[in-house]
Structure 1
Amino acid sequence: MQQEEQLARIIAEVCEGEKAREVLVLDVSEITIIADYFVIASGRNVIQVRSLAEEIEKKTKAAGFMPLRREGMQQGVWIILDYGAVLVHLFRQEEREYYALETLWGDAREVEFQPQGL
């Protein structure tokens, strides 16, 4: 497994462990140069979305990965964590439904993952 896919799976597992909604990993490597993987997840409210971002950063740092950038922490309605080849999109449920990234990137292959209780 590539390092990028491993990172995407770690992030998805953290999201599942933190009770995020509708966790999705998309392999976008064949359709864009922006990143190789998107991890998309939703929280019920701003507090949960921020908490998801903080927990992802904590667990990925422990695994040796650091985000290059992060945006949206202040507002907490759409947070992006940029790990280079992996972009994490954390939404409050209303924003996720509005922006519908799954539809926008509908040609991407969905990556299956099994939560392992991080």
Structure 2
Amino acid sequence: MKNKEEIKEIVLQLAQATFDKKGRDIEILDLEGVSMLGDYFLIASANNIKQSQSIADEMEDKAAELGMTVNHREGYREGEWILLDFGDVICHVFGGDELREFYGLEELWNDAVRVPFEGV
């Protein structure tokens, strides 16, 4: 079982992998005390469906390097909203801005603390 700091390091590395694939508007939400779904949400946007699939692939590859496997995957084929559930970290990759704005996950989970991230 990983501790909170180890999980935070993992989500930051997944965010960097997203940034490396030109993901944008990357947000990390700390769900502690807000939800039992996981420890962190990672939310990102892509410019199109192919890019969202590429980002999801990179996330899965990075997670595998870190010893994590995806427990559940949804939306990959369509690529409009891809959800990757790694247990402690749940990643949402949107293939455009419209769907992300429509569902407003950041507003829905506005009680969650934002974890600072700036890609390098």
TM-score of the alignment, normalized to the shorter chain, above 0.5 = yes
Which consecutive residues of structure 1, in runs of 5 or more, have no partner in the other structure?
none
Q: Does 1:107 align with 2:111?
A: yes
Q: CA deviation at 1:2?
A: 1.9
Instruction: Name the residue aligned to 2:45.
Output: 42
Runs of 4 or more consecutive aligned structure 1 residues displaced over 2 Å after TM superposition: 113-116
Instruction: Name the residue aligned to 1:70.
Output: 73
Q: CA deviation at 1:63?
A: 2.0
How far apart, in 2, do the equivalents of 1:34 and 1:68 lie? 13
How far apart, in 1, do the equivalents of 2:26 and 2:72 lie? 21
Q: CA deviation at 1:115?
A: 2.5
Which consecutive residues of structure 2, in runs of 5 or more, have no partner in the other structure?
none
Match of 1:96 among 100, 108, 113: 100
How far apart, in 1, do the equivalents of 2:109 and 2:83 lie? 16
Q: CA deviation at 1:113?
A: 2.7
The aligned length equals 116
Q: CA deviation at 1:79?
A: 0.5
Q: Does 1:32 align with 2:32?
A: no
Amino-acid identity (%): 37
- For normalisation by structure 1, the TM-score amounts to 0.92
Equivalent AA in structure 2 for residue 37 of structure 1? Y
Q: CA deviation at 1:23?
A: 0.3
Q: CA deviation at 1:96?
A: 0.5
